């Protein structure tokens, strides 16, 4: 028998008694994160715009559905008031999954509205959530802020400039936050997925199912939402003195931003 004070990260009770707020919860990585946090014992507030999807998720997992638009300051504030009223002003983790890409234009052909949407969603939305919930994270005594960025925060690529700019921006904010919050015993974690095939990301970005499918053509096993969520949940459940500053995960077929193994469909 081993006697360890903290539960193993994959124990079903690893998050027992802990409270998490998760954005982007209506689909993809956010949804999978809510499912897995609930399964490891966390009490989860699931935040997204689409109320009917959240209600279904709440029924399936026991999470609490909180409809919110992270790009609307007042919406964020009212969600925070509601949640913090129910949690005595304390949460253990703020998990910022909401984000996304619009368009794949080169800089010269880029659309200002695409860039603005990406900056609002990835940077300002995350910023609004942090401002609203950070005092509650600090109040837990052992809190965590986790931001989901992307390998697009590592290196620019053709057609990626707007998304690169947004994710580089989110990374900069995350790095500054880690320096500012260590003295408050707050962990700041950045998870950077490469190629993930989720139900909506590429469709939202490129506007059609066909264009979205082409992104993954010939790639035998892109990451799934569940794969990324497993890493998110591991980093939240690992002993609090361990800060996984930045985790990059890609499918084996994507050796780098610039090398992807695509096999002919047999």
Domain count, the chain: 1
Write the CB contacts of 144 (distance below 8 Å, at least 6 apart in sequence).
Answer: 92, 93, 94, 137, 186, 187, 188, 189, 236, 240
Angle at 64 between CA 60 and CA 67, to 5 degrees: 110
Give the global pTM: 0.95
- The answer to whether 141 and 124 have CB atoms below 8 angstroms apart is no
Going by pLDDT thresholds of 50, 70 and 90, the confidence category of residue 2 is: very low
Distance (Å) of CA 138 to CA 18, 180, 191: 14, 12, 21
Q: What is the bridge-based pairing of β-strands 143-148 and 43-48?
A: unpaired
Active site residues: 163
Residue 259 belongs to a domain: no
Domain extent, residue 47, equals: 19-251
**pLDDT of 5 strictly over 50:** no
List, for residues 232-251, the tens digit of each pLDDT value.
999 999 999 999 999 999 99
Residue 1 belongs to a domain: no
List, for residues 89-143, the tens digit of each pLDDT value.
999 999 999 999 999 999 999 999 999 999 999 999 999 999 999 999 999 999 9
List, for residues 69-85, the tens digit of each pLDDT value.
999 999 999 999 999 99
Residue 264 belongs to a domain: no
Distance (Å) of CA 95 to CA 30, 189, 220: 9, 9, 29
Collapsing DSSP to helix, strand or coil, 209 comes out as helix
Residue 204 belongs to a domain: yes
Residue 65 belongs to a domain: yes
Residue 14 belongs to a domain: no
Task: Supply the pLDDT for residue 13.
Answer: 85
For CA atoms 71, 74, 75, 76, the dihedral sign is positive
**pLDDT of 217 strictly over 60:** yes
Residue 150 belongs to a domain: yes
For position 132, which CATH number holds?
A: 3.40.50.720
- The answer to whether 33 and 45 have CB atoms below 8 angstroms apart is no
Residue 123 belongs to a domain: yes
């Amino acid at each position: 028998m081993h006697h360890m004070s903290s539960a193993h990260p994959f124990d079903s009770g690893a998050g027992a008694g802990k409270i998490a707020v998760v954005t982007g919860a209506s689909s993809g990585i956010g949804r999978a994160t809510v499912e897995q946090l609930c399964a490891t014992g966390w009490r989860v507030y699931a935040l997204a715009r689409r109320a009917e999807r959240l209600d279904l998720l709440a029924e399936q997992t026991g999470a609490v559905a909180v409809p919110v638009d992270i790009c609307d300051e007042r919406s964020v504030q009212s969600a925070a008031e509601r949640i913090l009223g129910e949690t005595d002003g304390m949460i253990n983790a703020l998990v910022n999954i909401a984000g996304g890409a619009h368009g794949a234009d080169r800089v010269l052909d880029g659309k200002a509205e695409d860039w603005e949407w990406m900056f609002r969603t990835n940077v300002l939305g995350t910023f609004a959530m942090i401002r609203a919930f950070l005092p509650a994270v600090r109040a837990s005594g052992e809190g965590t802020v986790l931001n989901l960025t992307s390998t697009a925060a590592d290196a620019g690529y053709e057609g990626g400039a707007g998304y690169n700019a947004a994710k580089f921006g989110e990374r900069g904010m995350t790095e500054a936050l880690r320096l500012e919050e260590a003295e408050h015993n707050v962990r700041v974690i950045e998870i950077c997925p490469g190629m993930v095939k989720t139900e909506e990301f590429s469709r939202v970005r490129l506007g059609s199912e066909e264009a979205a499918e082409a992104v993954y053509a010939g790639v035998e096993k892109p990451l799934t939402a569940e794969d990324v969520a497993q890493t998110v949940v591991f980093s939240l459940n690992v002993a609090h003195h361990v800060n996984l500053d930045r985790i990059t995960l890609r499918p084996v077929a994507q050796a780098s931003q610039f090398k992807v193994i695509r096999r002919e469909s047999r």
